[in-house]
Amino acid sequence: MALTLYERVCAGNRRPSPYCWRARLALAHKGLSPETRPVKFTEGALVAFSGQHKVPVLGDDDRVVSDSWEIACYLEDTYPEASSLFGGAGGRALARFINHWTDHGLQKALSPILVPYAHALAMPEDRDYYRQTREARWGQSLEHLAAKRAVYLAALDPVLEPLRQRLAETPFLCGEKPAYADYLAFAEFQWARSVCDQDILAPGEQAIRAWRHCMLDLFDGLARSVPAFETAA
Ligand SMILES: N[C@@H](CCC(=O)N[C@@H](CS)C(=O)NCC(=O)O)C(=O)O
């Protein structure tokens, strides 16, 4: 079996992509260690064999899967004997809901805070592309976004409330042990840790902090094993 994960790489070998962290953690959950292939923002052609240009892309012998959700479902269905990512059909449906909340809630709130930092840590040859695409997406300059950091941090606060509430109840979103919903939300914090030297959590954010530390320790410290800003942990 030859498993290959194509994932985003930035300056200093940083691995900031939350989508790629979803896949990395899902693979680790299944006890699988892929070979990783770094892909710069301007190297989308490297994964064109998957029929699109985004990462993550998983190669499993002659099978190719793109999109983090498709990868999670592929792993769950192809490696059913390993620990479950979802815990059954109902769990899969709820994990998909958390996927949508992460994309349209958590990530949407974090992006205007993190994008200016991510630009500074993109590969030098990727920076123009990153600036152009992100400024088009946000309809304003990166400098404008950076100047409004405090506003965006205040807007993040209520978005974190479901995490706060749930993590005050059990150590992980999925209960006593982590599973895919945890990887979905945690992957966003991996992005923060990878690019941002400022702590995005308020000092009193105990439950989310404790969860992040547990998540960083999983799989022999897989999420700690990449270059990052400890100040943001
Ligand atoms: N829905 C996809 C989204 C994948 C995605 O947007 N990946 C980013 C990782 S940085 C990407 O490749 N972006 C390409 C770009 O910004 O040009 C998934 O869940 O995997």
Cβ neighbours of residue 133 closer than 8 Å, sequence gap 6 or more: none
Query: Distance from the CA of 87 to the center of ligand 1, in angstroms?
Result: 26
Task: Tell me which residue of 87, 89, 96, 99 sits closest to 179, measured CA to CA.
Answer: 87
Predicted local confidence at residue 134, as pLDDT: 98
Mapped onto helix, strand or coil, the DSSP state of residue 22 is: helix
Q: Is the pLDDT of residue 72 over 70?
A: yes
Ligand 1 atom 3, closest CA? 67
Predicted local confidence at residue 101, as pLDDT: 98
Query: Do residues 19 and 56 make contact, with C-beta atoms less than 8 angstroms apart?
Result: yes
Average pLDDT, integer, range 22-42: 98
Predicted local confidence at residue 232, as pLDDT: 63
Average pLDDT, integer, range 53-76: 98
Q: Is the pLDDT of residue 1 over 70?
A: no
Predicted local confidence at residue 193, as pLDDT: 96
Query: Distance from the CA of 168 to the center of ligand 1, in angstroms?
Result: 31
Ligand 1 atom 14, closest CA? 54
Query: Distance from the CA of 53 to the center of ligand 1, in angstroms?
Result: 8
Cβ of 188 less than 6 Å from ligand 1: no
